[in-house]
Each structure stands twice: as C-alpha cells, then as structure tokens.
Amino acid sequence: MTSMNKTQLLNELKKEVEECRRCSLYKTRTKVVFGIGPADANLMIISEAPGYWEDRRGEPFVGAAGKVLDELLESVDIKREDVYICNLLKCRPPGNRDPKPEEIKACTPYLVRQIEIIAPKIICPLGRYSMRFLMEKFGLKDEIQPISKIHGKVFEVKDLFQSIKIIPFYHPATATYNPNMKEILKKDFQILKQIYGEDFSFWR
Ligand code: URA
C-alpha cells in the first residue's frame, strides 16, 4: 500500500468515526479524537482515551499529559510529527473515568483498522487498558501482567506480512502527579530509542 492510499483510507475511516454512535460517549463528546500522524509511520503510540483538552480540540495529547509525552519523545530524539498517536477510545469518557468494557468493545474495531492501514513496526501502548487490548489482539494474552511489571519490556509478534514490536509503557499522565514516574518513563523510552534506531528494512 502506498502512503497516498494509506492517507486516503485513514481519511475515510476518520469520517466514519466522526459519525459514530456505537456507544453512549457520542452524547457527551465535543469532538471525536481520531488520531494524528503520518499514515505510514513506523511507530504508533496508543493511549487510553481523550481528556478535556483533547475533546475540545479533536487532537490527542494536547493537555498536561501531552506535555509529558512531548518531553519523553524529545529526550530520545524522536519527532512527534513522525509518530502516529491515537487512543483506544476515540471519545472522552465523562470526567476522565476509566473506559468501560462495552466502550472498548464498540470502539476498538476502529483502532484495529488504523493499525492495519498504518502497519507500524513498533507499537507502544500507554497504560494498562491499551496494553491489555493490544497484547490480547496480538496473541500475547498469556504474557499479560500488571503494567508495573511489564512496562519497558519488548514483545515481538509476527503478523502475516511483518514482525511488530510491542513495548508497553506507563501512561504519561502518571508523571503529572508522581515525579518519580517521569524518570521511569524516560528510562523506558531509552529502550524505544534503541529499537526505533534499528534498520527497519531487515524486519520484513
Ligand atoms: N491521555 C490519553 O490517554 N490520551 C490523550 O489523548 C490525552 C491524554
């Protein structure tokens, strides 16, 4: 698939998601937060759900957690504009409560299509909800552990056409209320840096 085709497919999917009423979150959302970044990104960062500012702006990670994410990416010389960033849920849960199972079930077919179109080499789930969903999706159910045990570990899965590395991280919002967390996240991002720096042409 060329990057033009991928962009077109993502744009079509975005239009579909903007009309979505599969769960009750459409009633309280201001904007759908579909995702942002290059359609042929090597790295996808998949977080949990939009917060207040994301819901207002229709873009992921534009609030306080976004500042932490920017700092983490900068610390490893990865440009934010080279990364595709999105969430498990495309609409904000009121009051930033945790996603409900029925919301995850309703919304994640969109995420799966995003992953299929982009076909990234590396996926970083941020936080326990996206970690759990992605590990289940990629056949790593038996390896699931609490995020406190699993953060920074690299899992390699073979999909039909390529191998994908999955590296779960803590959610960056944890660093906004626990300063020690930023140091842990920074260390984990060093692992991502190493892998991101590898030559992807050998991976197929
Ligand atoms: N937290 C998330 O999980 N996603 C965002 O887009 C912003 C904050």
Residue 1 has a pLDDT of 82
Residue 87: is its pLDDT beyond 70? yes
Q: Tokens 């610390």 correspond to what residue?
A: 75
The pTM (predicted TM-score) of the whole model is: 0.96
- Tell the residue nearest (CA) to atom 7 of ligand 1: 61
Q: Given a cut of 80, is residue 18 above it in pLDDT?
A: yes
- Sheet with 163-166: strands ordered across: 84-87, 43-47, 122-125, 163-166, 155-158
Please state the atom number of ligand 1 nearest to the C-alpha of residue 62: 7
Task: Grade residue 32 by pLDDT with cuts at 50, 70 and 90.
Answer: very high
35 touches ligand 1 (CB under 6 Å): no
Distance 87 CA to ligand 1 centre (A): 7
Tell me, using a 6 A CB cutoff, whether residue 46 lines ligand 1.
no
Domain ranges of the chain: 3-198
Cβ 48 under 6 angstroms from ligand 1: yes
Please indicate whether residue 45, judged by its CB atom, sits closer than 6 Å to ligand 1: no
Render pLDDT for 135-176 as a digit per residue (tens, 0 to 9): 999 999 999 999 999 999 999 998 777 899 999 999 999 999
The architecture of the domain spanning 3-198 is 3-Layer(aba) Sandwich (3.40)
Q: What is the separation of C-alpha 188 from the centre of its chain, rounded to a whole number of angstroms?
A: 16
User: Is the pLDDT score of 56 beyond 80?
Assistant: yes
pLDDT of residue 109: 98
Written as six digits, the tokens of 55 are 């819901």
